[in-house]
Each structure stands twice: as C-alpha cells, then as structure tokens.
A = this chain, B = another copy of it.
Amino acid sequence: MTKEQEGLRYRRTQSVTRAEEIKAFNIKVRYSQPDKPCHKPRDSLFSWSSKFNNFTGFINWAFLLLSIGSVRLLLENFIKYGIRIDPLQWIYVITGFNDGGSGHPAVALILYSFVPITTCLMVEKGLAVKIISNIAGMITHIINLVVLILLPMIVIHVKEGFNLVGASVVTSYYTVLFLKMWSYIQVNLWCRTAHQRKNSMRRSSISFTTLLKSSENTTDTSSEVLGKQEKEIVQYPDNLNFRDMFYFLCAPTLCYELNFPRTGRIRKRFLMKRIFEVVAGTQIILCLIQQYIIPSIINSLIPFSNMDITQTTERLLKLAIPNHLTWLIFFYITFHSYFNLIGELLQFGDRNFYSDWWNANNIDTFWRSWNLPVHRWALRHLYLPIVEMGFSKTMGFLSVFFISAFFHEYMVSVPLKTYKIWAFTGMMGQLPLSTFANYVEKRFGPRWGNIIVWSSLILGQPLCIMMYYHDYVVTHYGESLLEEYGRL
C-alpha cells in the first residue's frame, strides 16, 4: 500500500515537474518570438487569489475625505448661519451677568464647600486622638457626605439666578469633592486600624517584635536606609493637616494616599504647552457649540417632536459629528492637557489619566480605560471593599455601575432642572450593548467590537442631548416656543 502510494506520489511529482518544465520551456520559446510579448498569466490585485493586501493608501484616503467633508460643512454652516461666535455672550453665560445679577450663587456654593472639608478633617483629627468614638465619627462623616451631595441639588432647585454653566460647574465640583472625601475617609480608616493594631501589638509583645526583626535578613545598610526612609515617608496621624488635605483635593486623582509619587521639578516648556492647549482647546469647543451644536439642536426640535423619523435621523447624524468632535477635544484638554497641567504644577508623578480606550474592542474595556481616575476610585473604594466584605463580584460590579449611573444623572439633571432619567437610561443601556459588543467581537473579530464602541460613543451622546434639550425647552418655555423655534 505504502509503496504504491509512494510510487503514485513520485509519478505525480515527476509529472508536475515535467509540466513545469514544458511550461518554462514554453515561456522561453514565446519570449524568443519577434513580437516582444509583454503579457504573462497574472491575477488582478482585487482577486482573492492574488493574495495582495496592502491597502494602506486607503487610510490616507479616509482621513482626507473626512477633512474635505468637514471643510465643506464648515463653509455650508457659515453660508447658512453667518458667524455666530460671540465671545461676549460667553462671558455673560459663564458669569451669569445677564441673568439679573443676583450675586454669584455658584461661587458662593463653591466657597461654602470649605465647611464640609473642614468638618471632615476635624472629625478625622478627633478620631485619631480618640476624642470621638469610631461610630460617632462614621455617622458624622456619612451625614457630612449626604449633605454635601444634596446641597447643590436643593440650592439649584430652590434659588433663582443659576445659569446652566454655573450649575454644571457646581455639580461637577461637588461630585469630585464627594468622591475625594470618600477616599480620604476610607484611607484614613485603613491607616487608623493598622496603626491601632500595631500599637496594641507593640504594647502587648515587644519581645515578639524584636524576635521577628532579628529573624529578617536585613543588613546594617538597609536598616540605615529604612530609618532614613521612614523619616521621609509620612506616617498615619501626621498626614491629618490642611496642607496635606488640600494637596490631595487639588491633585488630579480621586484616590487618596499618604505619599503620592512626586516629580523632581516643574518642566516649564511642558507647562507652557499644556496651558496653551487648555486655552486654545476651550476656545475651539466654545466655537463649535455656538456655531454648530446649538443651531443643530434647535433645528432638531420640530422633527423630534413630530416623530418624523427621516428628518430626526438626519438631524441626529448632523448633530453627531460636531458633538463628537467637541467630546474628543473636551477629552483631550481635560484628561491630557488640564490634568497634566495641574500634575506638573503640583509635581504629581502619576500621569496615567487615561488608557488607550480608542483601541477598546468592547464596551467594558472602554469604560475601564477612558477615565482612569474614576475607574481607579471605583475599583479601590467600592468594588474591592464590597468583594472583601464577602459579597460576590457581580454585586461589586453592579454597585460601581449604579453609582456611576447616578452621578451621570446627577451632573446632567441637576443643572438642567429636568428630572428625567435619560442619562441614567443611557448608562443602563450600556449593559445590553456590552453583551451585544462582546458577541460581535467574538463572532466578527476585534475590529467590529471597536466599531461598535465608537458607534455608541458617536451616536449615543447626541441622542441623549436631543432628548434632554427637547424636555428642557418643553418644560421651561412651553409648547408655544416649539413653534417659534421652528421658524429659525
């Protein structure tokens, strides 16, 4: 059998070689003809059989078409609306100057925040020197945090004279403060527990500690270094002062620790670049909002109310692109320029504010990598404590998810004073979307997962914005205004 097969294979090989010989000879004869042959058997590059796959030029093509499309939209917009950019209007909006000028409630609320900050520090100091019992301290902290988060809600709802921008700044500021203080309290609790355990151990069994120390393989040099280092490193109760707390409150992180990594010096050139980016980026965002987003939203109002699907989709897509560009610039100037600027000024060492979310192949990865300060906070102060308390991982994940959805809603609904739950719904929608994206990633490959992430980012936001704007106008100006705006 095997020999026969071998023979067959041999004969086949022979015949192939023979055929190739004839072919080669054929070509030789053909090329020796006087008609200067210029054709040879070949496949077209687009045919699968050609195995050609270098289409890098089409990447340049895509970016070029995108630029051309943007320039055209820019021109179309200027022809249609003229120049709408008005720096004065922005000064009015930010300062609330034209709203009747009843003081600056936003500034007052921000200044007031020193009260809960001081309260928090005082309670910690009391706990450290054991003037306040653990339970009383924790209750005070919780009340302090709840008041902190409810205060802007109530003040913005009750008091007149808040404009949208002022209210947004206040809610963002209080959200960040809430997360930072939570971290501060929790880290101090960890330290206090460890400190007390150490002290009680020291008191009860000094001999044991000495024994333990001698058993360690520490040379003289390293114990000398240890002594030096222990002086440089801040230990528990020494950190409880205003200087340390304000450094943390200003630092571009939500996770407190006693000894932040620090850089050696402030790089002047780096600082200048970041300042320029923040200033220029903010201007570009303001221009985009005035020139593109506001007209698009206003124009979307009528089709959106009438549930005209074709026109609504067209408006949604028209809104999607400037809105997405605004978001991208916002991301860059906040997470790169601004945080690096603050980090450089404070000589804060850890600049890992974002990961490569643009390559994310599923929704989970995107949410884990686009906002690292929040992600790190959620992991360290919510997920891990819950898991360590004995709950399941799903429980931990859902807690993080709900807190996140709550704060998204908080930062949008409170300034708009419309207690609809579009942002919350949007966050909840991430769950089925994530399942879908995971399925697509597994079925069609990582590239399609990435495309779904980008799609949700590009199309999800403008949908929420249109819904909120629609509700805002209907609630605050009544149906009559809908018709008036329709004429624009």
Where the two chains meet, the residues of A that have a C-beta atom closer than 8 Å to any C-beta of B are 22, 25-26, 29-30, 33-47, 52, 54-66, 68-69, 71-72, 75-76, 78-79, 187, 190-191, 193-195, 222, 225-226, 229-230, 232-233, 235-236, 253, 255-261, 263, 310-311, 313-314, 317-318, 320-321, 324, 332, 335-336, 339-340, 349-360, 376, 380, 447, 450-451, 454-455, 458-459
Alpha-carbon distance A59/B57, docked complex (angstroms): 12
Contact between chains at A194 and B317 (CB < 8 Å): no
Task: List chain B residues, Cβ under 8 A from A455.
Answer: 64
Alpha-carbon distance A324/B354, docked complex (angstroms): 38
Contact between chains at A358 and B35 (CB < 8 Å): no
Contact between chains at B355 and A45 (CB < 8 Å): yes
Task: List chain B residues, Cβ under 8 A from A320.
Answer: 68
Contact between chains at A356 and B57 (CB < 8 Å): yes
Contact between chains at A39 and B261 (CB < 8 Å): yes
Alpha-carbon distance A194/B313, docked complex (angstroms): 70
Contact between chains at B38 and A376 (CB < 8 Å): yes
Contact between chains at B64 and A65 (CB < 8 Å): no
Give this chain's copy count: 2
Besides A29-B230, A61-B358, A62-B62, 4 new A-B residue pairs in contact (Cβ under 8 A), listed by A number: A36-B190, A41-B261, A43-B352, A76-B318
Across chains A and B, which 8 residue pairs bring their CB atoms closest together, nearest first? A34-B194, A57-B358, A72-B317, A41-B349, A39-B350, A57-B359, A75-B314, A42-B352
CB < 8 Å neighbour of A46 from B71, B72, B194, B332 = B332
Alpha-carbon distance A187/B34, docked complex (angstroms): 8
Given the contacts A350-B40, A352-B42, A30 and B233 also touching, CB distance less than 8 Å: yes
**Closest CB in chain B relative to A361 CB, distance in Å:** 9
CB < 8 Å neighbour of A35 from B72, B190, B313 = B190
Alpha-carbon distance A176/B313, docked complex (angstroms): 47
Task: List chain B residues, Cβ under 8 A from A225.
Answer: 22, 25
